[in-house]
Structure 1
Amino acid sequence: MHVVVNAAQSVDGKLSTRRREQLRISGPEDFDRVDRIRAAADAVLVGVGTVLADDPSLTIKEEARRVSRLQNGRPGNPARVVVDSRGRTPTDAAVLDDAAETFLLVSETATSDRREALEAAGAEVIVAGEERVDLEAGCTELAKHGVDRLMVEGGGEVIQSCFAAGLVDELDVYVGSLVVGGRDAPTLADGDGFIEAFPRLELRGTERLDDGIVLSYAVGETR
């Protein structure tokens, strides 16, 4: 499986404010870039925190791109994947509509009643991990469902976990021209962070979009 992480952050590395509310960092040009990456993916992955905060649909916005996928024998939208250890995704969340297939990666801490409710709401529930979702095991199961190219959109906890599991192949970061600040504001890679064996990045390209810049990296072995 090829995993691409995409994120937008402020100059000081924040994904949103300390209130963890949706923050517009980029503009139309970058939105189109993100839509293009989604269109190339088999599935788009986010953490449950993103679902609870933003209620995203994670679908392709440009109609021509959906049509192109259909003409190539693919679903109009990529599948949606939510990393949700305890099964907290609301049953009326936008990701559970019928616009695309949705997988929920849960751990064994998600109760059977909760799993059944989410399945009734339209999700394909995959149990991967005991107390927290084991992303490596979850990706193995997603591959069995035909996911060869996975786009990870956040948030910071999920991105850090993907790096820690050695799953990331590419990283694209849009850096917007604003400062957010705040020690409690989420960053690109939250969680426990790294003390040693840091993920190794190789800068492959830069592109100015809107009033910011996209940094594109290939991800190698840790060092």
Structure 2
Amino acid sequence: MHVVVNAAVSADGKLSSRRREQIAISGEADFDRVDRLRADSDAVVVGVGTVLADDPSLTVKDAERRERRREAGKPGNPARVVVDSRARTPPDAEVVNDAATTYVCVSEAAPVDRRLALSERPATELVTAGEERVDLLPAFAALQEAGLERLMVEGGGELIFSLFEAGLVDELRAFVGPKVIGGRDAPTLADGEGFVEEFPRLALEDVERIDEGVLLSWRVEPDTTTNDGSEP
């Protein structure tokens, strides 16, 4: 399995404001890059916080890219994956419509009625891993068994940190845009508890100017992260 974390952050490293409202950090050129990355992925992964805040569809926007996927024997859209320990994803959320298969990763602590409501949605499958929080290692192993080899992670910060902590990230691509958001409570690229001793080591592979921002692409060097594997 190959996991790529992709995010757009402000010049001061924020994903959004302290209100956690979606902010346009990048422009059309970067939106198109993200759409290409989605089209090249087997699945797009987000945490439940992103679903609750933005209600994204996580589909490929360009019709020609969807058609090329079909010509290659794939579904028009990649699968969607929501990491959602307590099954808080609303049954009417865009991410659990029938545009693509959706895997909702839950823990054993998720209320049964919420799990049932999600399992009844079309093309939605539940992956249960972990007691109180989703254990990312077995959850991602189950996704791989389902045939998902190339995963694109779109946030948010809590999930991204947990993936780094579990040693599951292979690449990090960050578009840094021309905005300063500020705020000690504004979400950053990697939230969670944070590392204090052992830090993931990144090898810079490319720097590309896009509009008034810059895309930084890193490779994550192996065997440099911890393996807790739990997601808030």
Provide the TM-score with structure 1 as the length reference. Answer: 0.99
Q: Which residue of 2 aligns with 1:146?
A: 147
Q: Which residue of 2 aligns with 1:133?
A: 134
Shift of 1:3: 0.2
Aligned length: 223
Quote the Cα distance in structure 1 between the aligned partners of 2:20 and 2:138. 28
Partner secondary structure for residue 134 of structure 2 = coil
Instruction: Map 1:185-204 onto structure 2 (within 5 A).
Output: 185-204=186-205
Shift of 1:194: 0.3
Partner secondary structure for residue 162 of structure 1 = helix
Q: Which 5+ residue runs of structure 1 have no aligned equivalent?
A: none
Q: Which residue of 1 aligns with 2:230?
A: none
1:95 has 2:131 as partner? no
1:84 has 2:73 as partner? no
Quote the Cα distance in structure 2 between the aligned partners of 1:198 and 1:130. 27
Instruction: Map 1:47-58 onto structure 2 (within 5 A).
Output: 47-58=47-58
What CA deviation, in whole Å up to 9, does each residue of 1:15-47 have, x standing for no partner? 000000001000000000000110110000000
Quote the Cα distance in structure 2 between the aligned partners of 1:145 and 1:200. 30
Q: Which residue of 1 aligns with 2:113?
A: 113
1:159 has 2:168 as partner? no
1:213 has 2:228 as partner? no
Equivalent AA in structure 1 for residue 160 of structure 2: I
What CA deviation, in whole Å up to 9, does each residue of 1:130-149 have, x standing for no partner? 11011111100001111000
Quote the Cα distance in structure 1 between the aligned partners of 2:39 and 2:220. 21
Partner secondary structure for residue 154 of structure 1 = coil
Equivalent AA in structure 2 for residue 158 of structure 1: L
Equivalent AA in structure 2 for residue 17 of structure 1: S
Quote the Cα distance in structure 1 between the aligned partners of 2:99 and 2:195. 37
Q: What is the alpha-carbon root mean square deviation over aligned residues?
A: 0.8
Shift of 1:171: 0.4
Q: Which residue of 2 aligns with 1:35?
A: 35
Shift of 1:111: 1.7
1:64 has 2:64 as partner? yes
Shift of 1:59: 0.1
Quote the Cα distance in structure 2 between the aligned partners of 1:171 and 1:188. 10
Shift of 1:211: 1.1
Partner secondary structure for residue 70 of structure 2 = helix
Provide the TM-score with structure 2 as the length reference. Answer: 0.95
Q: Which 5+ residue runs of structure 2 have no aligned equivalent?
A: 226-232
Question: Once the two structures are aligned, what percentage of the paired residues are identical?
Answer: 65
Quote the Cα distance in structure 2 between the aligned partners of 1:22 and 1:179. 14
State the 4+ residue runs in structure 1 displaced beyond 2 angstroms.
Answer: none
Q: Which residue of 2 aligns with 1:16?
A: 16
